[in-house]
Structure 1
């Protein structure tokens, strides 16, 4: 049965991932430090609640320089997120047991696929959002769906997802800003 980790907020940097049926509970929190003359540096800390005890499972250190790569740490090991496309967003990484996986964007959704099998195989994790509207209220719900065969690497999935989804949103936001400014500049000619 697919594991559904529901996000309390549609912001992977500051939310709770929960599955009450299995008593799984992750929290992510991001703290930003403004450094004079260097810009702002942020740190995302990920914790897991196990039987009422909060355990530190990972950290993402976001550098002040946007050209530097963030450090992604799961447990006590650093995982290297390797960009696999020149202009596209896929990134691969190696989990604790040595297998390689790749986060990709398919149909505007983040999906995690194993690299040791054919690329056409179904993904093992997918991020889904649902928009519901009732009268004047709009509600966006978000969840990370994880296949049963991937539960053994759950910490790796959650932390790499936070990293990947945040970077993808940042790139999309930058792309829309550049398009908007180009469009606005073009209209004044």
Structure 2
């Protein structure tokens, strides 16, 4: 059965991913530190915690650099994960998982999806980010969720931390791209 990690807020940098059926949840918290006298300005750190049946475990960290041209550092457990950008203007980024398998985050139909690279490209994704829209009387409720296939649960920590990184980077690129037409827009990392 597919694991559904619902997001309390549609902001991967500052939310709780929860699955009440399995008594598990992840929490992401981002803290920005201003460095006014140093070049670049602000630097941010996203910390990810996993809570399993009341026990809180540190899972990962993402160090967002002050200079938007520098690559963030992604750490899961004690491993630094190198996120490899697959093209100059494209979104896919690949990484090596805990058991040395290669995976790639992609954008398909405006959704982040994770696919294993060892199998045929036509293979179904193992994780997908969805935003569900529910119609109620004069209101719409959106409940974003990360859907993870059963065969990927063994790399759950890798998926959650790299998803936070990838989705945040994609949103920032989309903001910059849509703002490129706005003459008053100043590009930069908005964390």
Which TM bucket (shorter chain)? over 0.9
Match of 2:179 among 177, 184, 187: 177
Match of 2:75 in 1: 73
Partner Cα separation in structure 2 for residue 50 and residue 87 of structure 1:
39
CA deviation string 1:42-80 (max 9, x = no partner): 000000002211110000000000000000000011000
Q: Select the structure that is richer in helix.
A: 1
Match of 1:134 among 120, 133, 136: 136
113-122 or 172-181: bigger deviation: 172-181
Structure 1 position 32 matched with structure 2 position 32: yes
Shift of 1:86: 2.0
CA deviation string 1:110-169 (max 9, x = no partner): 000000011110000000002234344332210000000000000000000000000000
- Structure 1: any 5+ residue segments left out of the alignment? 183-189
Partner Cα separation in structure 1 for residue 53 and residue 64 of structure 2:
30
Length, aligned pairs only: 182
Match of 1:187 in 2: none
Matches within 5 A, 1:8-157: 8-37=8-37, 38=39, 39-157=41-159
Whether the 8 Å CA contact 2:25–2:50 is kept in 1: the answer is yes
Partner Cα separation in structure 1 for residue 31 and residue 120 of structure 2:
39
TM-score calculated relative to the size of structure 2: 0.92
TM-score calculated relative to the size of structure 1: 0.93
What secondary structure, in the 3-state scheme, does the structure 2 residue paired with 1:66 have?
coil
Partner Cα separation in structure 2 for residue 62 and residue 14 of structure 1:
14
Partner Cα separation in structure 1 for residue 6 and residue 61 of structure 2:
20
Partner Cα separation in structure 1 for residue 125 and residue 2 of structure 2:
12
What secondary structure, in the 3-state scheme, does the structure 2 residue paired with 1:104 have?
strand
Partner Cα separation in structure 1 for residue 169 and residue 96 of structure 2:
18
